[in-house]
Copies of this chain bind each other. A is one copy, B any other.
Amino acid sequence: MALIVQKYGGTSVGSPERIKNVAKRVAKTRAQGHDVVVVVSAMSGETNRLVALAHEMQEIPDPRELDVVLATGEQVTIGLLAMALKDIGVDARSYTGWQVAVRTDNAHNKARIENIDDAKMRADLQDGRVVIVAGFQGVTADGNVSTLGRGGSDTSAVALAAALKADECQIYTDVDGVYSTDPRVVPEARRMDTITFDEMLELASLGSKVLQIRSVEFAGKYRVRLRVLSSLEENGEGTLITFEEDENMEKAAVSGIAFDKNQARVNVRGVPDKPGIAYQILGAVADANIEVDMIIQSAGSEGTTDFSFTVPRNDYTQTIRLLEGLRDSIGAIEISGDDSVCKVSIVGLGMRSHVGIAAQMFRALAADNINIQMISTSEIKVSVLIDEKYMELATRVLHKEFGLDKA
């Protein structure tokens, strides 16, 4: 008998029929003797409908009021799922974010969970009830409705699992686990039975969309046992995200490959090589609320230096314009860039103990004439920036090179 938190996303609760299926799955877990807390998203399409309504009212909807409107999506689902469970004889009770209460900070539309009161949930579990909690939402200290931002339901589930010290947090989604890379790009991609937190974190932050990165961070921080499962399959084991580096892991240097098209490269050439110049350039970009990802600095000619960095593609034009305005004050010879680039990354805990992984990666790409524009590394990943037209090719080449297509 365990305490299990199950999270079902918008697609899994996208119609009355699907909500009934979720109820059956919850009832099955209950019948196995487990206590169950269910976290649900809004029915698929509902959040977009509400966002569209809000945008008809205001070009940039008021953040506080947007949260009031958006939070209704999950509130509908929790009530419907409670009814569906009661209809098949399983006692259940629903809670909104403020009812639990899931206390957050005041950052509307992207609030962070500060603490969760588990008293009501504990009492219901004690009484044999399934507890259903609206994902994605919380309440501020002032009693305002807050939401956690897109994908926030994953974070809600993990936070509830941490607060309740649940034995496992199961994220049900429309894929059956975490893959070595996107199966739409590489048909040979394999589902992994386990993956470590560090790897999952790198994969999530590198553009793999199975789990929201904040939920993975949260799970890592509070040591929540996390599993990704398919809500469509009956008996899948999914992928368990582990804290332990198990034996198998040691064998493979690379466990997954991620890619990200939301990249643009900016070059600032020929600035004087003096202290503070990096801050002058990158500080201005940060002040404009633009997130810089990869950064390289290289020596230019005659006491000058060159900077290259990447920004989200949507911010490319603004970044170039901003730097053109600074050109005289920073003394740059040229501002240029390219917004048709992409980032491809290899991730693996095994890199720690294997040498030459990066070199192997570069050689494999060179063999297929894929030019590398920038390189960035961490302890367990190597990312390269390349022309976006080679993205699929590079992913396939690397998937094969590191033996990920073999069971």
- Residues of chain A having any CB pair with chain B under 8 Å: 16, 19-20, 50, 53-54, 56-59, 61-62, 64-69, 71-72, 75-76, 78-80, 82-84, 86-87, 93-94, 96, 98-99, 143-145
Q: A66-B79, A79-B66 are in contact. Are A86 and B72 (CB under 8 A)?
A: no
The listed residue (B19, B69, B94, B143) touching A65 by CB distance below 8 A is: B94
Most chain B Cβ neighbours within 10 Å, of A50, A62, A66, A144: A62
CA A96 to CA B69, docked complex, whole Å: 11
Question: Which residues of B sit under 8 angstroms from A58, Cβ to Cβ?
Answer: 83-84, 86-87
Q: List 12 A-B contacts (CB under 8 A).
A: A19-B57, A20-B57, A53-B76, A58-B84, A59-B87, A61-B83, A64-B93, A65-B82, A65-B83, A66-B83, A68-B94, A69-B79
A120 to chain B: closest residue by CB = B143
Contact check, B16 vs A53: say whether CB atoms are below 8 A apart. Answer: yes
Minimal beta-carbon separation of A80 from chain B (angstroms): 5
Contact of A54 among B54, B62, B64, B83 (CB under 8 A): B83
Chain B residue numbers with a CB within 8 Å of A54 are: 79-80, 83
Distance (Å) between the CB of A139 and the closest chain B CB? 9
Copies in the complex: 2
- Docked-complex contact B57 and A16, CB < 8 angstroms: yes
Closest chain-B Cβ to A82's Cβ sits at a distance in Å of 4
The distance from the CB of A254 to the nearest CB of chain B, in whole angstroms, is 46
User: Which residues on the B side are within 8 Å of A67 (C-beta)?
Assistant: 79
Residues of B within 8 A of A79 (CB): 54, 65-69
Across-interface contacts of A75 in B (CB, < 8 A): 68-69, 71-72, 75
State the CA gap A78–B50 with chains docked (Å).
Answer: 13
Which residue of chain B has its CB nearest to the CB of A16?
Answer: B56
Q: Which of chain B's residues has its CB closest to A86's CB?
A: B62
Q: In the complex, what residue of chain B is closest to A15 when comparing beta carbons?
A: B56
B99 touches A143 (CB 8 A): yes
CA distance A72 to B19 in the complex (A): 18
Q: In whole Å, how far is A40's beta carbon from the nearest beta carbon of chain B?
A: 12
Closest 3 CB pairs of A and B: A69-B79, A68-B79, A57-B83
Q: Given known contacts A57-B16, A68-B94, A143-B99, is B83 in contact with A62 (CB within 8 Å)?
A: yes
Which residues of chain B are within 8 angstroms of A64 by Cβ–Cβ distance?
A: 93
CA distance A96 to B98 in the complex (A): 12
| Residue in chain B with minimal CB distance to A57 | B83
Residues of B within 8 A of A86 (CB): 58, 62, 65
Nearest B-chain residue to A67, judged by Cβ: B79
Which residue from B68, B69, B87, B93 sits with its C-beta under 8 Å from A57? B87
CA distance A98 to B56 in the complex (A): 27
- Which of A50, A53, A66, A71 has most chain B Cβ within 10 Å? A53
A59 proximity list for chain B (CB < 8 A): 87
A72 to B59, CA, bound (A): 23
Pair A76/B82 contact, Cβ less than 8 Å: no
Nearest CB in chain B: distance from A56 CB, A = 4
Give every chain B residue within 8 A of A71 (Cβ-Cβ).
75
Min CB–CB distance A28 → chain B (angstroms):
18
Which residues of B have CB within 8 Å of A68? 75, 78-79, 82, 94, 96
